[in-house]
Amino acid sequence: MKSLRTLLIAACIGPALALTSRQTTSQTAFVDLNTTLGKPEHLASGWIYGIPDNFPNQIPSSWYTDVGFRWGKGGGAQLGSTGQRGWVVSLDDYKGRFASTLANYKTCRALGADFHIYVHDLWGTDHAGGKNGKWPGDGGDFSDYDKFVRQLMADVAANMDLRYVTWDIWNEPDIQPYFWVRSAQQWVDLYVRTHKAIRSNRALDAMKISGPAIGFAPGPSNSFWTTWLPQAVGNNTIPDFYTLHLLGGINDVTYDPAYTNTSLASLLKKYNAPARQVFVNEYAAAEEMVPSGYIWWIARLERYGMFGMLANWLGGTQLHDLFGGLLTKEKNPAAYAATDYAPAAGYPVYRYYGTNMTGQRANTTGSADRWLDVYATVGADRVRMLAGVRVHTGTYSIVVRGLGAVGYASGAVVGVDAYSFDGASTKAVVGMVGTSRGKTSYSVVNDAITIVVHQTANHTGWAFEFDVKR
């Protein structure tokens, strides 16, 4: 077992670096500098809502581009004024929500990001009246819903460049009573007829369809998944992206891409369903909205090749502003029209990910105890790593292997600069970059060094950098 040996004999120079007795190999992550995986794609650089409902947008574009913004999503959720409550209330109320959706689409496209449509918002689940209200397919009657789908198909085709648009058929049918209050089968009927309506409309050929966007994690006992998947297969209505939400928090192992990568694969196999790009179109629970959590999610999504959009736990106008809590405002984040934008705890993390981490991605392995994960790049100038212990404390280590590939011979000294991301809230203003925590020297043994992470506060996230010598 090479990794264990490397860990035990890695020599460290500097007092903070002695391996402690509390540390075990299950608390060790690995970075392999000699195995690169292509250019950074910023798979985790997106969020749901979080964009003001005007275009041009009041948030200067550098706030988006510096985090490598890849995808956004909207549909007018929580707008409550007359004329903004969705189809279920009136055609005019649908038009108000479409205006919000279109403004968000234009912002995304102006920045080169793809746009995903929250169709249930345009329909207006938040104004549907709950259990005693009106839902698509009640009493077997989909005629009003079909009319809604025809209207939205026409508006989308007339106003959007469909190559960059995804229609998410229905959000979280299992999160009741908020987004659906009827049976799983009634929702599957909706799903199948919507997919068929879109795919029989040649004007929408370029547009992608996503689903099932079920709120609970995929697995053999998730009845929404096991009801939906065989019928989607049987009707030839498999979406272009499998969408899923991972919002269950840190103590349930099923809300981890490492788990869902396997659980989804076995569901697909069981129902003979084809593979598709996985899109975690809501990731991270509210408690994970701190640097250590953000970094863990970035590293996890990148490893499993899943596209990701950060969840958004804000409400009211803040839901339509503030990038899901990556941004705040100098004075008052609740002042919607104010433009004194400032970084909240997560912003410097995503900025480092989107701007600093250039070159090629290096292969990494998360710690076996699942708490630490690392994302790493090998640039022309420096090796850069983001390390996150998922809202947890302890003594962790990162074994960086393959140093020969970046010009360090055995016995050479590597000077590693450390930075910490110290913010702990989505409201408080922090600095634009991490805090320097100094340089530590390590000598190369067996082509590797071991960086120790003393995680004393559960929210802290880390970046480590050193020069490439070649």
Ligand X SMILES: *[C@@H]1O[C@H](CO)[C@@H](O)[C@H](O)[C@H]1NC(C)=O
- Interface with ligand X (CB under 6 A), residue from 74, 394, 434, 461: 434
Residue 152 CB, nearest approach to ligand X (Å): 20
The Cα–Cα gap between 433 and 420 comes to: 9
For the record, the structure tokens of 178 come out as 């908020």
Residues 6+ apart with CB under 8 A from 249: 255, 285, 287, 288
Query: Pairing state of beta strands 307-310 and 165-168?
Result: unpaired
Residue 449 CB, nearest approach to ligand X (Å): 11
35 is an interface residue for ligand X by CB under 6 A: yes
The Cα–Cα gap between 6 and 282 comes to: 38
> Which residues between 306 and 345 bind ligand X (CB under 6 A)?
none
The helix (H) or strand (E) run that includes residue 4 is: helix 2-9
The Cα–Cα gap between 411 and 337 comes to: 57
The Cα–Cα gap between 345 and 446 comes to: 37
Which residue lies nearer to ligand X by CB, 15 or 411?
Answer: 411
- Interface with ligand X (CB under 6 A), residue from 49, 216, 242, 352: 352
355 is an interface residue for ligand X by CB under 6 A: yes
What is the number of alpha carbons within 13 Å of residue 340 lying toward its C-beta?
10
363 is an interface residue for ligand X by CB under 6 A: yes
Which residue lies nearer to ligand X by CB, 144 or 155?
Answer: 144
Cis peptide before 56 (omega within 30 of 0): yes
- Interface with ligand X (CB under 6 A), residue from 391, 414, 418, 444: 391
> Which residues between 272 and 311 bind ligand X (CB under 6 A)?
287, 303-304
Residue 417 CB, nearest approach to ligand X (Å): 7
462 is an interface residue for ligand X by CB under 6 A: no
Which residue lies nearer to ligand X by CB, 281 or 356?
Answer: 356
463 is an interface residue for ligand X by CB under 6 A: yes
For the record, the structure tokens of 396 come out as 């962790």
Write the Ramachandran bin of 38: left for phi over 0, alpha for psi from -120 to 50, otherwise beta. Answer: left
> Which residues between 186 and 245 bind ligand X (CB under 6 A)?
188-189, 192, 231, 234-235
Q: How many residues bind ligand X (CB under 6 A)?
A: 29
365 is an interface residue for ligand X by CB under 6 A: yes
The Cα–Cα gap between 376 and 466 comes to: 12
Which parts of this chain interact with ligand X (CB under 6 A)? Answer: 34-35, 188-189, 192, 231, 234-235, 250, 261, 265, 287, 303-304, 352, 355-356, 363, 365, 391, 401-402, 419, 433-434, 447-448, 458, 463
